[in-house]
């Protein structure tokens, strides 16, 4: 495991992207053609749609603000729980987690449904260290998720979609295409029909999940994919589901399947 040495840095200025999402427009920003490493066929990482200044933050681990969470996750990896055991007690070097984040969500035979990386981390904390499950979006859970996900950076997204996962993939796909909320919009209207176009002050991406957890300039902190799902639902005036809900885990499976082959970038930096 590479020793992380992170310099102290001031918070980045937030991007002024607030407001209701109404109306699409042609993008003024030209998507560069020299980003082949972030494309697989017609699949484009969100990195492709970000400004060069934002990409520069992600590219430099000393400048990437998400690395503050990674540093904390590294410390938590070896922190013992109530029974004296830690993540390191079983897995030793975190390099053992290489490739793990790239294949989640996975079918969980115990509960007969899909489970994502945050839920798996919490299960391990409860069952292996005797600790309490961490709250969704809490700094410790985000930190551990970012640290574990970092071990898969550069590996292709490869979620399993057949066999026992197939019915859950179908549910996630149905969610992606279902109109909802007062604006009567589905995920596909932004991230499939209008990727590369402007929606007010925001340049729409394909909505790929290979960079999560991500540091959003708008949030001024790192956040999970399910936080982004909730934000999208609120933007179209639809009632959001709870983070970690079956609905969002199934949607996560479908969204990650859409980006199969794209390299893992977590923790990324986005607008």
Average confidence (pLDDT) over 236-254:
98
Active-site residue set? 232
Range in 9-13, 48-52, 240-244 the model is least confident about: 9-13
Distance CA 16, CA 191 (A): 21
Average confidence (pLDDT) over 103-126:
97
Q: How many CA atoms lie within 13 A of 117 on its CB side?
A: 31
Cβ–Cβ under 8 Å, residues 141 and 151: no
pLDDT number for residue 5: 37
Residue 74 has pLDDT above 80, yes or no: yes
Distance CA 60, CA 241 (A): 35
pLDDT number for residue 28: 39
% of the chain surpassing 90 pLDDT? 85
pLDDT number for residue 102: 98
Residue 163 has pLDDT above 50, yes or no: yes
If one counts every other C-beta atom within 10 angstroms of the C-beta of residue 249, the result is 25
What is the average pLDDT value for the chain, to the nearest integer? 89
**Confidence band for 55, pLDDT divided at 50, 70 and 90:** very high
Average confidence (pLDDT) over 50-66:
96
> pLDDT tens across 201-238, in order?
889 999 999 999 999 999 999 999 999 999 999 999 99
Check the CA dihedral 29-35-39-42 and report its sign.
positive
Q: Which domains does the chain have, with CATH numbers?
A: 42-64+159-270 (1.10.760.10), 67-150 (1.10.760.10)
**Confidence band for 20, pLDDT divided at 50, 70 and 90:** very low
Average confidence (pLDDT) over 7-22:
32
Distance CA 56, CA 58 (A): 5
What string of DSSP letters covers the chain? -PPP-----PPPPPP---S----EE--SSPPPS--GGGEETTEE-GGGGS-HHHHHHHH-TTT-TTHHHHHHHHHHHT---TTS--HHHHH-SGGGGTTTGGG-SEEETTTTEEE-HHHHHHHHHHHHH--PPPPTT-HHHHHHHHHHHHTTTTSBP----SGGGHHHHHHHHHHHH--BTTTTB-HHHHHTTSTTSEETTEE------TT-SEEETTTTEEE-HHHHHHHHHHHTT-PPPPTT-HHHHHHHHHHHHHTTTSBP--SEEE-
> pLDDT tens across 179-206, in order?
999 999 999 999 999 999 998 888 999 9
- Residue 8 C-alpha from the chain's centroid: 24
């Amino acid at each position: 495991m590479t020793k992380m040495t992170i310099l102290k840095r001031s918070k980045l200025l937030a991007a002024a992207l607030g407001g209701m999402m109404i109306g699409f427009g042609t993008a003024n920003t030209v998507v560069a053609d020299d980003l082949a490493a972030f494309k697989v066929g017609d699949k484009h990482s969100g990195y492709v749609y970000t400004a060069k200044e934002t990409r520069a933050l992600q590219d430099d681990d000393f400048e990437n603000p998400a690395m503050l969470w990674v540093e904390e996750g590294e410390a938590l990896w070896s922190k013992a729980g109530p029974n004296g055991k830690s993540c390191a007690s079983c897995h030793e070097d975190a390099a053992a987690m290489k490739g793990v984040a790239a294949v989640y969500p996975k079918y969980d035979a115990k509960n007969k449904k899909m489970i994502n990386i945050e839920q798996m981390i919490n299960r391990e904390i409860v069952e292996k260290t005797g600790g309490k499950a961490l709250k969704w979006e809490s700094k410790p859970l985000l930190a551990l998720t970012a640290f574990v996900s970092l071990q898969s950076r550069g590996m292709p997204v490869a979620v399993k979609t057949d066999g026992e996962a197939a019915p859950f993939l179908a549910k996630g796909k149905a969610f992606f295409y279902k109109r909802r909320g007062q604006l009567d919009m589905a995920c596909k209207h932004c991230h499939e029909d209008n990727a590369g176009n402007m929606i007010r002050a925001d340049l729409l991406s394909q909505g790929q999940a290979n960079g999560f957890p991500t540091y959003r300039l708008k949030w001024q902190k790192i956040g999970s994919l399910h936080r982004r799902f909730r934000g999208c639902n609120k933007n179209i005036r639809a009632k959001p589901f709870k983070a970690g809900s079956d609905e969002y885990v199934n949607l996560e499976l479908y969204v990650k399947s859409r980006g199969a082959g794209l390299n893992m970038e977590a923790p990324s930096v986005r607008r």
